[in-house]
Amino acid sequence: MTFAYTNAEPSIVLSEFSKKIGMNISYQSDLIPKTKISGFYENETGRSILKSILEQNNLTYQILMSDQIVLHKKQNQNTFKEYTLSGRIRDSMSLEYIEGALIVDLLSGTSVYSNEYGFFSIKSKNEVQHLRIIYLGYEEKILKITSDEDRYSEVLLKSNNALPEITIRGNTWSKEKLDGTILSKEDIKVVSAVLGEFDVVRAVQTLPGVSSGADGFGGMHVRGGSYDQNLVLMDDVPMYYSSHAIGLLSMFNADAIRSVKFFKEKIPSNYQSKLSSVLDIHHQDGNLKSWNVDAGIGFLSSKILVDGPLIKDKISILVGARRTNLDPFLKEVTSYFNQKSGKEGSSQYYFYDINAKLGINLSSKDKVYLSYYSGKDFFNDDNIQLVNTITSSSTLRNFQNLSWNNQLLSVRHHRQLFKSLFMKNIVFLSSYNSSLSDINAIKLFTNTNTTDSSLIGKSLNSGIQEIGCSSQFDFQMSQIQLLKFGLSYSNTLFKPTLFSFTEKDLVLNNILEFPKHVNDTVQDLNQSNAQEMAFFIEDKISPNENFSLKIGLRAALLNGKSFQQLFLSPRISFDTYVSEQWALSGAYDRLYQNSHLISTNSLALPSDLWVASSKQLKPQYSNQFSISLDFIDASKVECKSTLYYKRMNQIVHINDDANFEYNHIEKLEDQFTIGKGQSFGFEFSYRSKFSDKVSQYLNYSFQKSTRQFEALNNGKAFDYKYDRPHQLKVGAQVNINQEFGCGLNFEYSSGNPISLPLGQYPYITIDKDKPKIQILAFEDINNVRLPYILRLDASIFYKIKKSWGFQEFGFGIYNLLNRKNPQFVDIVLDPVNPKKQKYEQVSLMPILPSFSYRIHVTSK
């Protein structure tokens, strides 16, 4: 281009130049002198012209965006000063902290993310800082800060009240990558509701490499691991069983959630170790400005959430509760069916959970939280039957009970110690109990006035109590280095109990009133403690915007029953941009776990048994390698491909001849055998958003997961029961307008492997007078694969905004295709040929419509 000016003030020259190139030029007014200048340029580029104009005044420029240029002084490289800008990112309406907001220094290109308490610290060599703050679901903010000293800022972001959508996190203005997967509330609501309930864990299960146990039931399984190998945290407190209704729903109320982080690789060192993954969930803190009530009713449950300021801008409170609606109906329906088959009695099921959180701002840099959670599931089946024959009459009573509950309590304090140093302290208590009882009683009267009676029962209880504390420090050492370090301690008491009991010579009244349970001293005999003291450190170095390296180490001293072990857990990862849009990353994680879960079925029942590590059952550990290739195209498309290999050691399985019928009080550990496992696979995920209205995702994974125990299957390796070679998950969200939207989720998954008998044969009894007993003949463990699982869910929602808040109506269909996905297999007589038997599958979730209604009220 050609550009000329004669005897003009630099500000006017720049203004004309700006019009010529069609870009805004911004600068501090005191940077530009008033001395008039002249110049003539012919056939030169815009860049060289601008450079020439600015050099005369020791200035330089930075192109921030496609239409924005910023001028600033040239740095003297010999005497540079580093400025630190720190602060917190908050929601402008509720003053809740925002985790994971991206803060970009537009001049230097440096970027950081806000931590779980909204805190960020960014260093710059520029006296003038232009910061761009981005967080999904909120309007972007540009901050221009001029300072010659370090500053602290509270940044408020305004929500854009978006409808649920599949989010793309790509941003070419920053190459800083967040480790793990962050799910927002909108991400959770993209996955169709089950019986009117959105669910965090179901949203996580749409990710590649993550599956449920059996068509939605049975917990969360990551890369061929079992569900106990996931560290599930609710407000920094570990949970041992986090499902309602055997995995149909999780214990997390989606409406009360603020943030969800999920790691299956590059697991940060500050997390207590589990072999497969970390699911870190934080509830909302509570609104510091106004009161809100959020209530809803669905097919399965009703819920309410109230939050607001006890003292404005100072103390917030949040209380939420959820409970099933179905109990009275369930009791009547089961009573009806029992009566039809000549019995009296009914079944009952309910669950509830309560969340409470108190947040206290001690100062602008100090905050304390108190969090409490209580949740329970209860199932009961109780029936009595009278059987009369010519010679006798008998009363039979069958009683089954399954219940489990969690109670969590934590006190958290965080403080900004210095401009670049942030501290977090936690003290917590986690208590989990499950109880399974099965009692059968019979009282017999004969015509000859003889009586007989017996009561046989068995009971299984699993109790865990964990107390712990930790201190963690985040230190932004420089523009390119973030250091995290800290200490933690936990003491976990495991109380597994199994026993059977009998009682003879009952009088009839005892059939109706069971004697008080039980020999409680038995409970203490299998009790054991596990302690962990750990130090962790993690250093993230980003020498330039194209490369970062993270090196972490967790050193833990594990104490248990008759053993002590020092475990070093290094975690190393790197990220490098090979081009503007392609990034390569890799990770190595060595993880350990100080407990074992003995699961004997594929439904992951809450009655599965937790035991502490010991000299005989040493802590399990794993080594995982992974490598990924990412593609990000602005905010439209995000793709990721990952290859991984994981090897697990010291994993536990019950012996083939294990029997818990007897009071194996001192020999519980002898019922288990030790072995190893391996898992490898390929994962692909694709997310795109080509318009404001339509977004979609596609996740595919291939996986091979096996286990090997010397004492089982003749020492041969066998497919792990949650091995799923192929999984495909596809979803789409269409937001027709600000009020109306719909979504579809599709899932295909290979079936679970199971051990099926090939047939049966007559057993030679020692007592020849007895009729022959048929024995099931098995071959290898997990020798057969169940049919594939396929499910399509759909949902629509309609949101009506009002001056006081909004109303939302939801309608969904779970399993729209009514596919009978197998949960487990039964062997029954063939009706065509009663001498033969055949397999029959049992499915639990056919087509299920649901509705939900939600109302949200905000005080002014």
Residues in 175-194 at the binding interface with another protein, rule: CB under 8 A: none
CB 342 to another protein: min, Å: 18
Instruction: Confirm or reject binding of residue 601 to another protein (CB under 8 A).
Output: yes
* CB nearer another protein, residue 90 or residue 653: 653
Binding part of the chain for another protein, among 121-129, 215-223, 289-297, 763-771 by CB under 8 A, reads 763-771
> Which residues ranging from 622 to 651 are in contact with another protein (CB under 8 A)?
none
**Single residue of 7, 148, 764, 833 touching another protein by CB under 8 A:** 764
Q: Considering only the stretches 67-75, 356-364, 483-491, 601-609, report the one whose residues sit in contact with another protein under the rule CB under 8 A.
A: 601-609
Residue 300, by phi and psi: left (phi above 0), alpha (psi -120 to 50) or beta?
Answer: alpha
Choosing from 844, 853, 855, 857, the residue that interacts with another protein (CB under 8 A) is 844
Question: Which pairing describes strands 773-777 and 784-785: parallel, antiparallel, or unpaired?
Answer: unpaired
Rounded to a whole number of angstroms, the minimum distance from the CB of residue 810 to another protein is: 19
Q: Which among 21-29, 426-434, 725-733, 762-770 is the span making contact with another protein, rule CB under 8 A?
A: 762-770
Q: Which stretch binds another protein (CB under 8 A): 93-101, 206-214, 727-735, 781-789?
A: 781-789
- The distance of closest approach from Cβ of residue 154 to another protein in the complex, given in angstroms and rounded to an integer, is 51
Question: Which of 154, 313, 366, 840 lies at the binding interface for another protein (CB under 8 A)?
Answer: 840
Closest to another protein by CB, 209 or 213: 213
Q: Is 663 in the site for another protein (CB under 8 A)?
A: yes
Q: Which amino acid is at 115?
A: N
756 binds another protein (CB under 8 A): yes
Residue 618: strand, helix, or coil: coil
DSSP sequence for 580-617 = SSEEEEEEEEEEEESEEEE--STT--TTPEEEE-BSSS
CB of 378 to another protein, least distance (A): 17
Find the binder of another protein among 506, 822, 852, 856 (CB under 8 A).
822
Size of the site for another protein (CB under 8 A): 80
665 contacts: CB under 8 Å, gap ≥ 6: 522, 525, 526
Strand 243-244 and strand 249-250: the pairing is antiparallel
At residue 843, φ and ψ (nearest 5 deg) are -115, 150
Options 142-150, 331-339, 620-628, 677-685: segment touching another protein (CB under 8 A)? 331-339
**Residue labelled with tokens 């019922």:** 671
Per CB under 8 A, the list member of 12, 634, 758, 800 interacting with another protein is 758
Report the distance separating Cα 542 and Cα 481, nearest Å: 6
> Residues 468-507 vs another protein: string with x where CB under 8 A?
------------------------------xxx-------
715 belongs to the binding site for another protein (CB under 8 A): no
Helical packing angle, 10-21 and 46-55, nearest 10°: 170
Report how far residue 208's alpha carbon sits from residue 224's, in angstroms, rounded to the nearest whole number.
12
DSSP string, 215-231: TTEEEEEETT--GGGEE
Q: Which of 245, 219, 220, 251 is nearest to 375 (CA)?
A: 251
Question: Which candidate, 272, 216, 214, 313, places its Cα nearest to that of 752?
Answer: 214
Single out the segment in contact with another protein by CB under 8 A; choices: 206-214, 370-378, 510-518, 658-666: 658-666
Among 42, 79, 80, 329, the residue binding another protein under the rule CB under 8 A is: 329
Smallest distance, Å, CB 597 to another protein?
Answer: 12
Min. distance of Cβ 828 from another protein in angstroms? Answer: 9
- Candidates 51, 415, 458, 676; binder of another protein (CB under 8 A) is 458
In the structure encoding, which two tokens stand for residue 25, read together? 């030029």
Residue 654 makes contact with another protein by CB under 8 A: yes
Question: Is the Cβ–Cβ distance between 812 and 793 less than 8 Å?
Answer: yes
197 DSSP 8-state letter: B
DSSP labels, 624-644? EEEEEEEEEETTTEEEEEEEE
Query: Closest distance between another protein and the C-beta of residue 599, in Å?
Result: 9
Instruction: Considering only residues 414 through 453, tell me which ones interact with another protein, judged by CB under 8 A.
Output: 436, 438, 452
Question: How far apart (Å, rounded) are the C-alpha atoms in residues 183 and 186?
Answer: 8
Of 578, 597, 598, residue with least CA distance to 586: 578
Residue from 690, 761, 804, 809 in contact with another protein (CB under 8 A): 761
What is the DSSP code (8-state) at residue 561? B
Q: Where are the alpha helices (DSSP H) in 317-363?
A: 327-340
User: Residues 285-304: x/- map of binding to another protein (CB under 8 A)?
Assistant: --------------------
| Rounded least distance, CB 443 to another protein, Å | 15
Q: Cβ neighbours of residue 780 under 8 Å, at least 6 residues apart?
A: 713, 716, 718, 755
Residue from 396, 784, 794, 796 binding another protein (CB under 8 A): 784
